[in-house]
Structure 1
Amino acid sequence: MQEQIKPGFHEQVQRKLYILTNEEQKILQKFGNEWFVTRLDGLKIGDRSEYKYALIKAPRNYQELFNFERELIIIFSDYESFQPRSTDAIDAVSDQLQDLRIDKICSIMLSKDDKIEEKIRDILKESQESQVIVPISYSEILNNHSDSYFLRNKFKTNFYTRDLFDFQSPLKKDLYFFGRSDIINKIVNRHFSNENSGLFGLRKTGKTSVIFGIQRALDKIGAKSILISCDDTSFQQRRWNKCLHYIIVEINKKYKLNLPLQAEDQYTEENASQIFAEEICKIYHIFQEKSILIIFDEIERITFNISSVTHWEKKFDFIFFWQTLRANFQKLNNVFSYLIVGTNPVCIEQSSIFGKDNPIFHSIPIEYLPRFDVPQTRDMVRKLGRIMGLQFEEIIYSKLTEDYGGHPFLIRQVCSLIHRLNNQHLPITVDRITYDKAKNEFDKNYASKYIEMMVSVLSEFYPDEYDLLEYLAIGDLNFFNQYAIESTEYTNHLKGYGIISQTRDEYDFKIDAVKQYLIQKNKYKKVNTTNEDMLNEISQRRNALEPKLRKIVRTQLKAKYGENQARDKLLLSFGKEEQKKYNHLAYKDLFDPDKVNIYFENLKNIIKKDWSTFEHIFSRKQEEFNLKMEAINKYRADAHAKQMTPDRMGHFRDCMTWIENHVNDFLED
C-alpha cells in the first residue's frame, strides 16, 4: 500500500510566505504540520479592507473524522477588533477562485481579536444559514505548545455541536439548499420564454425556499423579480385596483428607482389597468427591457371562496385583478410574467367564478413541488451529516426517502433527531439500528407536530381534500372511492402533493407518518364498526373526559370561592351519608377517584348547579351543554351494555365531540 505524502506546504505557498507576518507564518506552519497547505494569496475588498488567505486540504485522519473532500479556506484577519463584515472575505475568496474544489460549507477565520470565538458565535446566532466557521485567535494558536489535538478539537467543537438539519424557516441562500435546481431552472426558463407558471405544494415542502432560489438565479444574471406575499395584510386588504399600484410601488422600492409614480387614488377601477401598463412599461425600459417576474406567494389569501377577506372571497376582485394582469401580459409582450405559488391550483382549474369566466382558467402550467428521490436525499443528508459527525450507511438514504415520502423537511427533522440522540458519541456511523431508534422516537413524539403544520392548510382552505385523506387513513374505502370517482381533481391534488399514490384503482399513503397522524386524530370517525367497537369507544372517551372535567371543576370552584368555601359547596353536591364519609378530606382529595366516588353524573350536576362559574368554558350555551351531557351519560357503555345503532353512535359522537372540544380548548389555553 502506497504511503500517504506527509502534510506540509506546496511550492507556491513557500514562494508566497513573504506576504505573511512572522506570527502569521508560525500560525500557518501549525496547519502545515497537520494539513496540506495548497495555496497562499491576498485579496482586497472595497477600498480599504485587505485580507490574506490560504487553502488547506485534509489528510486522511481529518477526512475520516470530518469527511472533508474539498479544500478549506483560511482567512487571516489582522485587525485588532473583529468586525462581522470580515466574514465577507470568505465569499470573496470563493468567488475569486470559482473553483469547485473549495468547500462552501465550512471555513477557518484567524483573528488578532481574542474575542473572535464569541463574536463568531453571535454572528451564527443571527443567521442560521451562515456557513460553519472555525474561529481561532492568533494568540491561542501561537501559545498552544502542549495540546497536540488543538486543531482537531477546534473542528470538533464547531462542527459537531451545530445542527445543520434543523432549519425551520425558508432558506434564503444556496449554501444549505438541495435538490430543487430542476424546478428552478424550468420556471426561470419559462419566464424568459414569456410564459407564466404555477407552483403548488403543502406547507413545509420548500415552496418559499424555491421562490428565493428563483430570485437568486435571476439576480445572478441581472434579471428582475418582485415577491408579493398575498398573506401580507397590506396587500390582501386592498381592493384589486389598489393591489396593482402596490405591485408597482414594491418594484420601485426594491430596486431603488425613485420613480415619480401615480398616487394610489389615481388607480380607480376604470383607470387602474391603463396606469399599471404605463408604469410597468416605464420600469421595463429603465431595466433595459428586461422582463420582470411577479411572484404571488400564498395565493389562497386572494382566491375566491377561500380568502378570509370578503372582497376576494365573495366579490369579483379575483376576476378583475387577473383580467387586468392577463390582458396586460398579452398586450405588453415580454414586459412581465407571473408565477402563482400556493397549496392548491383550484384558482387555475375552476372554469367559472360566480357565473363569470375565470380569466386564468387553464392558462398557466401547473407544477407540484416534487419529492426528493434517493440521490437527492443522499446529497443533502450526506453533505450536512459529514459536518456534524454523522456518516450514514448507504441503505439509510433509501430508508429515509421511503419512510418519509421524499419530504425534505421531515427527512431533515429525523436526521436532526439522530444528531441530538447521539451528540455525546460523535463521530458515529448511522446504521439501521441507530436509524430505527431515532425513527421510532420521531414518529412517537415529534412527527404529529410537523405533520399538523403540513396538512393544516388543507383543513383550513380545502376541507374536502382533508376529509378524503381522513377517510383513506381510517380505512373507510367505500366513502373514499366514491368521492375519488366523483371528484378526480381532489385525488389528483393529493397525488400532486406527494401524500398518496395510486396503483390501478387502489390508493395508499406515501408518507406513513401522515397516515398514522390522521388515524390517531380521527380514530373515532370510522363508520361501520362492530357493536363491541362502538361500546369500547364510548367507554374510552368517557373515561378520558372524566378526569379533565374533575380538573376543571376543582380549579374553577377554587378560583371563584376560595378553597374552604369551594370545599363546602362540593360536599353539598353529595348525599348526607357521603357528606359524613368525606367530611374529613382536604379539598383536593375530594377529587381523588381512589378516595371519593365522584362520578360523571356528579360532575355534570355540579356544573349545572353553578353554571355561572363554568359558562365561559362552554360558550355560554347552557341548554346545549345539558342536552349533550345527558346524552353522553345515557350511552354510558360501561354501566350497562347496549346494542348500539349507527344513528345512536352518530348522536353520541356529535355530543361527545362538542364537549371534548370545549374542554380541550379551555385546558390548552
Structure 2
Amino acid sequence: MERVIENGRIIKGIKKGLNVKGTSRERYIIRKMSEFYGVTFSRIETFKNTEYNFSFLQPGDEYLEKFNMYNEFLIIFSKFESFDRRIFDFVDKTLVDYDNRLDKVCIFLVSNDSSIESKIEDLNAENKDTKLIVPFTYKQFEQNFEKVDLENKLRKYFYNRDLFAIESPIKNESYFFGRKQIVQGFYSKYVSGEQSGLFGLRKIGKTSVIYALMRTIDFKKGAYVFIDCQNPSIHMLRWYELLKEIALKACDRFDVEINFDDYNFDEKNASKSFEIILLKVYEKINKRILLIFDEIEMITINTSSSEHWKKREDFLYFWQTIRAFYQSNQGTISFLVAGVNPYCVEKASINDVDNPIFSMVNPIYLELFDFENVKKMVSSIGAYMGLNFEEEIYSKLVDDYGGHPFLIRHVCSLINQSSNIERPVKINKYDYYKEKENYDSKLQLQVSHPDKSSSYRILGIHSVCSP
C-alpha cells in the first residue's frame, strides 16, 4: 500500500521503516488496515504475564467528518479463542502510557473468539460508559474485507451507542469533562498530606471527580481506601465497627495479611486496634493512604439516616480517632470528605464538645458547567455518535438547564433518540426549540420559572440547607 500523507500526517499506508509486529495473520490484518488508515506504531508488550500485540492507526479527514476520528487510535489483538476481559486492564494502561497520542474513546479489537461481537454488546449493556470498542475477528480479514465493511461496522458501533445516557458516576476518563483542574488540586493535597472536602449539588458529578482522583492516584502509584457512606453496610455500623471495616478494606486492598481475631474492636479498644493495623499497612506499602468518604452526610450528626450517627456520639468518637491517628503518625494518612454541604466540617461543636474536624478542611464547591465546558462535553460525545450541534445550542443548554451536566447529558440523550438515524446529522436550533417541550416532559421537568433554579428543584437540589 502506497503511503498517503496529508498535512504532515500519514493517513494511509505504513510508516517508513516501521517493523509491524505479530504473527503472519496479525501482520496481514495491519497491512489490510493500512488501506484505510496510516499505521504509525507497532509493539508487543508483556503485562501481567500475558503478551499483547498492538499498533496505532491514524485516520484522515474523511473519518474525522464521519466519525470524529482524528487522533491516532489503538488496534489490539486478542489471540485467545475465549475472550478475556482482562485485556482492558492493558488497554487502560496503554492509553495512559501514550496519553499524548491516542484517542481515549475509540479502540479496535481483533479477537480469535468467534462470539466477540455479542460479548462486546454484553459489556456495553452492563456498563454504559465503556469505551467505543469496535470488534473484529481474525477470520473477517480472511474474507474480502473492504472499506464498505469497515464503515458499516463503524456506523454500527459508533451511531448505535447512546454515550449521553450514563446514569451512574463517570468511571471512564473518556467521558470525564470540565473537572481536571479540581482533580489535580485534590491530588496535590493528598501528596502534601492535607485534608480535602468536595461539596456540591446532587448529581453534579462529585463521585465522578472522586473516581477521576482515584485513577490519578493509581497512575501515580499512590494509595487510597474508598468508603461509600450511603451504603447501609457502612452507615449502619457503629463508629468502632466502621473503624474495623476501614482497616479490613485497607488490608484487603493492599494484600496485608492480618488476623483480626487478635485485635479487639469494641468501644474501648477500637481506636488503638485501628492505629496498629493501619500502621502495619503503611509499613508494607510505604505510601500515604487517602481515606475517601463519599456521601459524608450519611455518617454525620443530624443528617444521617442511622440514629447512632444522627443523634449519638458516633460522629465525635469516629473523627476523634481519625484526627488523633493523623496527628500522631504524620505522613501516614489524609482524608477527603464529599457530600452535598460542608456541615460536618463547619459545625464548631457537637453536644458541647469540639468537632474534631472543624476547620480541618477548606471546602471545594463543584460548580455548574459554563458554556465552554458544555460545548466541549456535548460536541465531543455527540461527534462520536454522528451528532453535530449548532453553536447556539450550547448556550441554550446552559440557559435552560443551568449548566448542570447530568441534566444536559440526559437532554442530549433525548436529542439523539429523536434525531435522524442517518448519520452524521446536524442538530440545529430550530429542531431544538421545536422539541424542547417534549424533552422537558420526558425529563419530568415542570419549568414554571425562567430562572435556572427550576431545573435544580426537580432534582431536589434547589435548597441545600445546613441542619
Tell me, yes or no, whether TM beats 0.5. Answer: yes
Question: CA separation of 1:192/1:127 partners in 2, compared to 1, >3 Å: closer, same or farther?
Answer: same
Q: Distance in 2 between matches of 1:89 and 1:375?
A: 33
SS in 2 for 1:308: coil
- Counterpart check, 1:71 vs 2:68: no
Question: CA separation of 1:112/1:515 partners in 2, compared to 1, >3 Å: closer, same or farther?
Answer: closer
Cα drift, residue 228 of structure 1: 1.7
Cα drift, residue 278 of structure 1: 2.9
Structure 2 residue aligned with 1:138:
138
- Counterpart check, 1:276 vs 2:274: yes
Question: CA separation of 1:388/1:328 partners in 2, compared to 1, >3 Å: closer, same or farther?
Answer: same
Q: Distance in 2 between matches of 1:279 and 1:311?
A: 25
Structure 2 residue aligned with 1:436:
433
- Counterpart check, 1:202 vs 2:201: yes
Cα drift, residue 95 of structure 1: 4.9
Structure 2 residue aligned with 1:168:
167
Q: Distance in 1 between matches of 2:364 and 2:57?
A: 43
Q: Distance in 1 between matches of 2:459 and 2:336?
A: 33
Structure 2 residue aligned with 1:57:
58
Specify which of 6, 12, 23 is matched with residue 8 of structure 1.
12
The 5-angstrom pairing of residues 312-323 of structure 1 reads: 312-323=309-320
Task: Show CA shifts across 1:270-289 (max 9, x none).
Answer: 3333333333223222222x
Structure 2 residue aligned with 1:548:
none
Cα drift, residue 366 of structure 1: 1.3
Q: Distance in 2 between matches of 1:429 and 1:10?
A: 34
Q: Distance in 1 between matches of 2:34 and 2:256?
A: 51
Structure 2 residue aligned with 1:192:
191
Q: Distance in 2 between matches of 1:416 and 1:20?
A: 42
Q: Distance in 2 between matches of 1:104 and 1:67?
A: 12
Structure 2 residue aligned with 1:411:
408
Cα drift, residue 170 of structure 1: 1.5
Cα drift, residue 516 of structure 1: 7.6
Q: Distance in 1 between matches of 2:299 and 2:459?
A: 30
Root-mean-square deviation (CA, aligned residues, Å) is 2.9
The 5-angstrom pairing of residues 105-144 of structure 1 reads: 105-144=105-144
> Which letter does structure 1 place at the counterpart of 2:110?
L
1:161, 1:423 within 8 Å by CA — same for their partners in 2? no
Structure 1 residue aligned with 2:423:
426
Structure 2 residue aligned with 1:32:
34
Percent sequence identity is 37
Q: Distance in 1 between matches of 2:11 and 2:186?
A: 47
Cα drift, residue 514 of structure 1: 3.4
Cα drift, residue 47 of structure 1: 3.7
Q: TM-score, with normalisation over the residues of structure 2?
A: 0.87
Question: CA separation of 1:269/1:30 partners in 2, compared to 1, >3 Å: closer, same or farther?
Answer: closer
SS in 2 for 1:166: coil
Question: CA separation of 1:93/1:20 partners in 2, compared to 1, >3 Å: closer, same or farther?
Answer: farther
Question: CA separation of 1:355/1:26 partners in 2, compared to 1, >3 Å: closer, same or farther?
Answer: closer
Cα drift, residue 350 of structure 1: 2.3
1:94, 1:102 within 8 Å by CA — same for their partners in 2? yes
Q: Distance in 1 between matches of 2:351 and 2:129?
A: 45
Structure 2 residue aligned with 1:218:
217
Cα drift, residue 135 of structure 1: 1.5
Question: CA separation of 1:149/1:209 partners in 2, compared to 1, >3 Å: closer, same or farther?
Answer: same
Specify which of 344, 348, 353 is matched with residue 350 of structure 2.
353
Question: CA separation of 1:47/1:284 partners in 2, compared to 1, >3 Å: closer, same or farther?
Answer: closer
Q: Distance in 1 between matches of 2:443 and 2:70?
A: 33
Q: Would you tell me which structure has more helix in proportion to its own residues?
A: 1
Q: Distance in 1 between matches of 2:240 and 2:423?
A: 58
SS in 1 for 2:378: helix
SS in 2 for 1:16: coil
Structure 2 residue aligned with 1:577:
none
Structure 2 residue aligned with 1:84:
85
Tell which has more relative contact order, 1 or 2 (C-alpha 8 A, sep 6+).
2
Cα drift, residue 156 of structure 1: 0.6
2:198, 2:336 within 8 Å by CA — same for their partners in 1? yes
Bigger shift: residues 42-51 or 247-256: 42-51
1:447, 1:513 within 8 Å by CA — same for their partners in 2? no
Question: CA separation of 1:155/1:336 partners in 2, compared to 1, >3 Å: closer, same or farther?
Answer: same
2:128, 2:165 within 8 Å by CA — same for their partners in 1? no
The 5-angstrom pairing of residues 139-538 of structure 1 reads: 139-144=139-144, 149-261=148-260, 266-288=264-286, 290-448=287-445, 509-514=451-456
> Which letter does structure 1 place at the counterpart of 2:381?
L
Structure 2 residue aligned with 1:572:
none
Q: Distance in 2 between matches of 1:204 and 1:403?
A: 17
SS in 1 for 2:16: helix
SS in 2 for 1:175: helix
Q: Distance in 2 between matches of 1:87 and 1:358?
A: 44
Question: CA separation of 1:437/1:139 partners in 2, compared to 1, >3 Å: closer, same or farther?
Answer: farther
Cα drift, residue 391 of structure 1: 1.4
Q: Distance in 2 between matches of 1:192 and 1:7?
A: 42
How many equivalent pairs are there? Answer: 454
Bigger shift: residues 39-48 or 68-77: 39-48
1:404, 1:411 within 8 Å by CA — same for their partners in 2? yes
Q: TM-score, with normalisation over the residues of structure 1?
A: 0.62
Cα drift, residue 415 of structure 1: 1.1
2:301, 2:311 within 8 Å by CA — same for their partners in 1? yes
SS in 2 for 1:109: strand
Bigger shift: residues 365-374 or 412-421: 365-374
Question: CA separation of 1:48/1:197 partners in 2, compared to 1, >3 Å: closer, same or farther?
Answer: closer
SS in 2 for 1:12: coil
> Which letter does structure 1 place at the counterpart of 2:440?
D
Task: Answer with 1 or 2: which has the greater Rg.
Answer: 1
Cα drift, residue 29 of structure 1: 4.3
Bigger shift: residues 158-167 or 377-386: 377-386
1:7, 1:33 within 8 Å by CA — same for their partners in 2? no
> Which letter does structure 2 place at the counterpart of 1:36?
G
Question: CA separation of 1:308/1:99 partners in 2, compared to 1, >3 Å: closer, same or farther?
Answer: closer
Q: Distance in 2 between matches of 1:94 and 1:411?
A: 27
Q: Which runs of 4+ in 1 moved over 4 A?
A: 3-7, 17-20, 23-26, 78-81, 86-89, 515-518
Structure 2 residue aligned with 1:522:
none
Cα drift, residue 172 of structure 1: 2.3
Q: Distance in 1 between matches of 2:128 and 2:47?
A: 24
SS in 2 for 1:381: helix
Q: Distance in 2 between matches of 1:408 and 1:101?
A: 27
SS in 1 for 2:105: strand
SS in 1 for 2:297: helix
